[in-house]
């Protein structure tokens, strides 16, 4: 059976469209990535992308969902959140004013991630953030 197994491991979680699911997704991410140097950044990214899916797309409706996928290899963590669409405009970071309480999520994700990909359109988008752990021994942050 090992000949069919690849080095990266992939996990998926389907989340109903409620705010409590973001908390569950964070906890699930923390459990999977326990002791990984990217765990803290990954948890924050899951929170931001999950919240964005609920706030800005049909995923936040009463019957909405969003899909979270984690792909883990020895140094790389890829976090993907797929929403249900319903928003025709392209996803992009915004410039939030100093007093704003929203509008910084994607900018934070871009600052933490080595790479950010956004695919799809108004019928559903997938936002994927890639984190890469440092090569040096003893370093505990991404």
pLDDT over 90 percentage in the chain = 63
Helices (H), the chain: 20-32, 39-56, 105-112
Residue 136 has pLDDT above 80, yes or no: no
Inter-residue contact 54 to 66 (CB < 8 Å): yes
- Say which residues have a Cβ less than 8 Å from residue 129's Cβ, sequence separation at least 6: 45, 49, 78, 79, 80, 109, 112, 113, 115, 116
- Measured in whole angstroms, how far is the alpha carbon of residue 110 from the centre of its chain? 11
pLDDT tens, 65-86? Answer: 999 999 998 889 999 999 999 8
Q: pLDDT at residue 89 above 90?
A: no
Place 142 in a pLDDT band, splitting at 50, 70 and 90.
low
pLDDT digits (tens, 9 = 90+) for 97-132: 555 445 567 888 999 999 999 999 889 999 999 999
Q: What is the overall mean pLDDT for the chain?
A: 85
Of 53, 80, 52, nearest in space to 68 by CA: 80
């Amino acid at each position: 059976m090992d000949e069919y197994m690849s080095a990266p491991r992939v996990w998926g979680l389907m989340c109903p469209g409620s705010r409590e699911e973001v908390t569950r997704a964070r906890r699930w991410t923390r459990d999977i990535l326990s002791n990984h140097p990217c765990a803290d950044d990954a948890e924050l990214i899951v929170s931001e992308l999950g919240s964005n899916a609920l706030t800005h797309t049909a995923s936040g409706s009463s019957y909405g969902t969003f899909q979270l996928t984690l792909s883990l290899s020895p140094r790389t963590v890829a976090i993907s959140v797929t929403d249900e669409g319903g928003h025709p405009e392209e996803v992009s970071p915004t410039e939030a004013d100093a007093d704003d309480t929203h509008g910084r999520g994607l900018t934070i994700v871009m600052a933490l991630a080595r790479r950010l990909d956004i695919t799809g359109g108004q019928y559903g988008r997938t936002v994927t953030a890639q984190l890469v752990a440092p090569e040096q021994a003893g370093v505990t942050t991404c």
